[in-house]
Every structure is written in C-alpha cells, then in structure tokens.
Amino acid sequence: MDAPLAVKSGHQGTAMSLAPLAHVLYSRVMKHDPSDPSWADRDRFVLSAGHASILQYSMLFLQGYGLSIDDLKAFRQWGSATPGHPEVGHTPGVEVTTGPLGQGIANAVGLAMAERHLRARFGSDICDHHTWVIAGDGCLMEGVSHEAASFAGHQKLSRLVVVFDDNGITIDGGTGLTCSDDVAKRFESYGWSVRSLGEIGEDLDALENALLDARDSTDDRPKLLILRTKVGVPSPDWTGKHEAHGNPFTAEHVSRTKAVMGIPDEPFWAPESVVSAVRAGAARCRAEREVWSARAAGHSAWTAFVNGPSAGWIDALPVFERGESIATRVAIQKAFDAVLADVPGLLSGSADLTGNTGTKLSGQSAASPATPDGRQVYYGIREHAMGSIMVGMALHGGLLPVGGTFFVFFDYMKPPVRLAALSRAKCIFVFSHDSVGVGEDGPTHQPIEHLAALRAIPDLQVIRPCDANETSQALRAAIEHDGPTALVLSRQNLPVVSDGSAVTLGAAVLREGTDVCLVATGSEVAVALAAADRLAESGVSARVVTMPSWDRFEATRRADRARAEAILPTGMTTVSIEAGATLGWHKYADECVGIDRFGASAPGGVALANLGIEAGNVVRVVTDLLGRGASA
C-alpha cells in the first residue's frame, strides 16, 4: 500500500490479496538463489498480472535480490529499479517483461518449452526446474492466452504451473459485466490439469501444499490452480471492491488497513528481524546451486552449448553465384541448414507456414511430448502466441528461437515483437511474402504499411535483403545481434546481384553514378538496376544503392558519417524504390516510388507493374525530377 500511496500511482489491490501466495512461492516452494539471479537451473516466476508489480518488488526486496527500501519508495519514478510494470534486465529477479495482459502467461509457455527442450538434450542433472505464473482475469480474457494455453496443453508442458487469481474484478467492475466463461472447463479442454483451491488465499500451509502437489505431480499436463481471492484484503474499506484495483488508497485507507493488520502506522515499515529472517531463509537453495554449478562446469556438452556458436560458423554460411535466381525465403532456409550444426541453440518454427516461409529445418524432428528435443516447432495458426512463446524461449537462455509467417500477419504478432525489442530478447522473426508480389491473394495478404511499422519499433533490427547473399549475411547479423531481428523476405525469385556486404553497414553501392541516386531494398533493388540501365541509354548516370537495413545504416552514420556519405551522399538527387508505404523515406530521398494504397488481386508481376514498382515508372520519376531542375 505504501509505495502507490507515496507516488499516487499504482495497483495495490491485487498485490495485497496475493501477498501470502507470493510469500509461499518465494520462501517455501520455488528453487532460486537471490545471490545468483542468473542461475541457469532456477525456477522461473512470471507475474503475468504485471500491474501488480509492487507485489514482486516487495518479494525481491525481502528475499535479498538487491532492491532496497529506497527503491520501493521510488516506485514508478524516473530511473528507478521499480518501474510501473516488471521489466527483464532492469530489475534483478524479473524474468520477463509483463504488463500487456496475456503476454506473461504466453512467455511462460516459452520458458517451459525451453526447460523441457534443454532437459531432453542435457538431462535432468543439468536442467530440472519449473515455471510458475500468477495470472488474472485480464490475462485470461486476452486472446493470446487462448492460443498459448492451447499450445501448452498440446505439448504437455507438465513443468508449467499457473495460479489463476480468480478475484472477479476488472477496472470497470465485476467480471460479470463482460465475461461468463467457465475457466476450468476451458483449460480442461486445452489439455490442462485443473484444480480449484477455493478461498485459501490467507492459509499459508494450504497454499504450500497445493503448490507442492502441483510441482510434484506425475500428471504430464500443465497445471492450472484456481485461487479465489478478494482484491484489497484486508482493507476495511475496499476489500472485494473493484475500486481497490487501480486507485491508490488514501492515507486514511492505509492507516485503517494497518490497524486491522496490527502493524505500526508508519510508511515502509520493515523490521530488521523480519527482513533478516526472510533473507536467511532465501539461502535455502544456495548449496544446491553450488553443487549444480560444479556439476555443470564438468559437463562438456553443456559448456560448449552455453558458449554459443561453434568456431567457424560464419564460414558455413552459403554464398550464391551472381546470376542465380532464388527467392530470399528459399535462401534463408539454406542458410539455416548450413549453420544448424554450429548454432546448437537454434530452434525454428512457423505459424502453419513452415515450408512457405523458409523456416523448415532439414532432417529435424518436431518438438512434441514424444520428441521434446525436436528443433522444429509447429505453432499452428497462432501468430500472437508464437511470438510471445519465442520471447519466453529467448529469455529463458540457451535457445535462439526462429519463427516465420507471412509479413502481413505481423499485424497479429506486433505485441510480442515490440516486447522482444523492449526486453532485448534474441529472437529471429521471419516475415516472408513481403510485398504485393504475393499476387492473387490480394490486398488482405499484401503488406503495405508493415515495413514502416517494423522500423518504428526501437531496438528492433530490421533487414530486408535484396538477394540470397544479403539473406545469408542477414542471418549472420541476426545471430551476432544482442536483441531481436526481423528478416523481411520475398516470395518471388530474385536475381543474385550483390556479395551481401551491404548488411554490415546497412547499405552499399552496387553501381556508381553521378546524376541521380536510386536507393532500394529487397526485390526493388533489381528494379533500380534495371532503371539505371535504361537511364544510361538516355545519358543519365545513376548510382544504385542497396539498403537492406535502415537501423544498421543509421548506426554507421552515427559512427562514421563520412563513410555513410560515401554510400548515400546527401547532396545527390535521390529516389527511393520500395514496394510499400513511403512513410519515412523522405529522410533519404527527394522522391519516393512506393505504394501508399492497398494492393489488388492479380499475378504478382502484374500487381507490381500496375502499382508503379517497375523500371519504366522509376525512369519517368527520375526524368521528371531532373527536369524540374533538381541538382545532380
């Protein structure tokens, strides 16, 4: 109560009702060691109901994860270690970034998938832990939880335990306003083991027994424990009322609640005797962690695995001959296969488009209850869950998840892509069928604004290669990057016109010229080259620049402006060419050849030509631009 009161912001109601549960999890049940928050075989805890972040921060303070009383006092403030919602990498002990409801439970499915995969490959003496989740009504209402729960049940992720805080409250009021689901039957139908705990939220021993029963069960299904609670307990004013959810209590409300609890009416009261006792108890797993560390150090296969790609993996990347014609979605599959043995943590999957997106790994078994070490993941038609599960896998550690779908369906997985970037989760998102070149499927399947949307996400590496060699080097960039990467790939065959080196700096000159610069990405680089040939016939010298990655080029410009200028001179008349929205291109170009409308059903070449993505239209634009007196 004190932290939201101090800053007049936050959600205390759920945190209050779940404090006993969180205490039991951290102090009696979970395998963890606050002195080593990154212990690879620790249990993972996910507060999917991330708005109740003060609950987790309070536990991390008490357990000794490095948070202080001053950190709690700085709750939700600029630069504090206790932001409004839990953020991985920001606060020790936080495993995933939660807040957008449903993401946490889906991330947890990824954590559990990673644990099972690593246990199957290295044995339970190296990997043997559980994933614990606290989720609320909002988490289960969001659609991503349906997708993720269905996948988890099918995969029989028995080490996943979700406690559903069934408090019947949302911001607008009781859940009866909007929802009449039978949550137990729903999860049973997904293949989960479901147990209703009743109103035992204040009974520490009963909570412990229920959690241990779930942990030690031989049932091979994921577990859902339904705990009936009253939000805001034990407040004499707001217990069980929806106002307790998001409105900070007043000082009077806090005082009256502390009187009920029998504790002093002073802010941030934390007796040294209590804190010391809790922290002493938190050391209960330290000896186990030390024994594990010694055992893991002597496990050569595990040591090699955690050290990352094998030496020489870059040399394994395929090189394609100029003049070949190959779709970049096909090239990425060849690149994956080439490095698979050298990048042992790579797992690849797709949202029911495995063969179409280049994410099929040759000779690999499907991840399943029967083959938990399989490196091919079939997510089904669940883009949203796929992205969120990938984030969980990546943040677990040890794995490099790849997931593919058609580019237009980025719409369905934008939330986890954004959270991957916020979390620095090392995922590779493969988006194929990247333009109106998709063809007859028409405007519902033809991405227009999607590149602009991807590029707007901070800390997301976006690469749209022009050919197979740039695709091969794009995979290298993704593996070497310390965060997520989106690879945007073509359906149609593209000529091999580069050596792939443009990926390193974000752009490169393919053809020198002095009168005009044509800068393009992806399939439109070939259009730019064809336009340059036609312009040369009329005496116009056109430079052609391939620019597979805006963000990498901007990094080059920040590091070495002269080098960037040598590639894309700011003083040269420039025309951009890209089969998508022109939003953002005016940063680099005087005129933009793009598509600022929805597409149309037609063969891919016909759609591209009619929408102006062809050499003749580029020549007309350049001729008009130069004719208007633009400086060459």
> Which residues belong to the active site?
383
Q: How far apart are CA 513 and CA 544, in angstroms?
A: 7
Q: How far apart are CA 54 and CA 101, in angstroms?
A: 16
The residues, any chain, with a CB within 8 Å of residue 268's CB and separated by 6 or more, are 2, 3, 69, 72, 73
In sequence order, the β-bridge partners of residue 593 are 577
Distances (CA, A) of 318 to 61, 310, 468, 473, 522: 50, 16, 9, 9, 19
In 3D, which of 588, 563, 568, 547 has the Cα closest to residue 462?
547
Are 323 and 495 spatial neighbours (Cβ–Cβ below 8 Å)? yes
In 3D, which of 586, 599, 597, 511 has the Cα closest to residue 550?
586
In 3D, which of 594, 563, 596 has the Cα closest to residue 576?
594
Cis peptide bond prior to 234, omega within 30° of 0: yes
Q: How far apart are CA 505 and CA 519, in angstroms?
A: 14
In 3D, which of 27, 16, 59 has the Cα closest to residue 208?
27
- Strands 44-47, 574-577: pairing kind: unpaired
Residue 480's CB is within 10 A of a number of other CB atoms, namely 12
Are 171 and 200 spatial neighbours (Cβ–Cβ below 8 Å)? no
Q: How far apart are CA 19 and CA 134, in angstroms?
A: 11
Q: Which two tokens stand for residue 542?
A: 């056109």
Are 233 and 261 spatial neighbours (Cβ–Cβ below 8 Å)? no
Q: How far apart are CA 445 and CA 557, in angstroms?
A: 35
Q: Which two tokens stand for residue 311?
A: 């030496």
In sequence order, the β-bridge partners of residue 25 are none
Helical H segments across 64-203, by residue range: 69-73, 103-122, 137-141, 143-155, 183-189
